[in-house]
Amino acid sequence: MSISTGERMKITILGARGSIPTEGAEMLEFGGATSCVLIETDEWAVFFDAGTGIVNAPEIGDKKIAIFLTHPHIDHLLGLPFFPYITDKSKHIDFYAVKSGVLSARQQLDKLLCPPLWPCSADDYPANFEFHDIEFPVKLGDISITGIPSVHPGGGIVYRLECGGKSMVYATDYEYRDDHIGELIDFAKDTDLLLFDAQYTDEEFEKRRGYGHSTPSLGVIVARKAGAKEVRFVHHDPTHTDEFLLNMEEKIKTEDISFARRGEVIDL
Ligand SMILES: [Zn+2]
Ligand SMILES: [Zn+2]
């Protein structure tokens, strides 16, 4: 379905799985593709992360393409070599990342697209890549993107995207910590859509502090305090089957809060 005005955003969850892709009949409802979210406006197709979900990017016509990396962990980059538009020589791809340690955006991608891990580099693909070391805010036409640091091993970015008076916040690979959560709640204030990392159950979280992920119950606290209008939990643990996730979801589900499914579309 096309969007008739520049005031609207269409958000598609292309990958909601965390850490590593999964497959199997017990993983069909939430999907096994790793982190990728597509935000479409009239002019732009903005991808947050390039996990294996980006392999199934839909038809975007002649929209401009930008990819924003939260951090260069492999589950957030693994789909890029098979991004459908990477083999289209008419496409220009703006690739954005915050410097990770001493590595530029280009160098972060080169770590993956480089022998012996992969036979070719970004330069070898027909699409034209342009690399950007992010300085906030980033403006893409009517879109404005800002960010704050995540709480995650090696660092990461939480993004907020605004367009036409609507907003969304993408907080994946984020560990709820009492000394940082206030900054995220302020950053996500009154957002129309919050995507929040809820990889673990409460029990798992206690055993995996420092791994850089959160839980649905902590996500509900963030959502309420921020006043987020809609919430989807993302980065599902690779060991959690559909049945397990449905049980987790049941405990927190409301009209506005649920677990993200691969392929789910949210119109703002
Ligand atoms: Zn991840
Ligand atoms: Zn990570």
Environment class of 62 (CB within 10 Å of its CB; exposed 0-12, middle 13-18, buried 19+) = exposed
The label of the residue with tokens 């910590």 reads: 177
Q: Give the Å distance between the CA of 18 and the centre of ligand 1.
A: 5
CATH at 90: 3.60.15.10
**Per residue in 20-45, pLDDT tens?**
999 999 999 999 999 999 999 999 99
Q: Give the Å distance between the CA of 4 and the centre of ligand 2.
A: 36
DSSP string, 110-167: HHHSSTTT-S--GGGSSSEEEEEE--SSEEETTEEEEEEE--STT--EEEEEEETTEE
**Amino acid at the residue 247:** N
Whether 1 is covered by a domain: the verdict is no
Q: Cβ of 252: how many Cβ atoms within 10 Å?
A: 18
Domain span at residue 202 reads: 10-267
Q: Which helix (H) or strand (E) holds 224?
A: helix 216-226
% of the chain residues with pLDDT over 90: 96
Q: Give the Å distance between the CA of 77 and the centre of ligand 1.
A: 10
Q: What is the tally of structural domains in the chain?
A: 1
pLDDT of residue 7: 62
pLDDT of residue 101: 85
Using pLDDT thresholds of 50, 70 and 90, give the confidence band for residue 1.
very low
Residues around ion ligand 2, judged by CB within 5 A, are 73, 173
**Per residue in 183-230, pLDDT tens?**
999 999 999 999 999 999 999 999 999 999 999 999 999 999 999 999
Q: Give the Å distance between the CA of 76 and the centre of ligand 1.
A: 6
Whether 171 is covered by a domain: the verdict is yes
Whether 3 is covered by a domain: the verdict is no
pLDDT of residue 19: 97
Q: Give the Å distance between the CA of 153 and the centre of ligand 2.
A: 7
Q: Give the Å distance between the CA of 267 and the centre of ligand 1.
A: 25
Q: Give the Å distance between the CA of 162 and the centre of ligand 1.
A: 23
**Per residue in 66-85, pLDDT tens?**
999 999 999 999 999 999 99
pLDDT of residue 144: 98
Q: Cβ of 120: how many Cβ atoms within 10 Å?
A: 11
pLDDT of residue 58: 98
pLDDT of residue 177: 97
- CA-CA distance, 222 to 232, in Å (whole number)? 12
**Per residue in 99-136, pLDDT tens?**
988 899 999 999 999 999 999 999 999 999 999 999 99
Residues around ion ligand 1, judged by CB within 5 A, are 18, 75, 173
Q: Give the Å distance between the CA of 239 and the centre of ligand 1.
A: 14
Whether 4 is covered by a domain: the verdict is no
Sign of CA dihedral 67, 73, 75, 79: positive
**Do the Cβ atoms of 17 and 26 come closer than 8 Å?**
no
The ligand that comes nearest to the alpha carbon of residue 152 is: 2
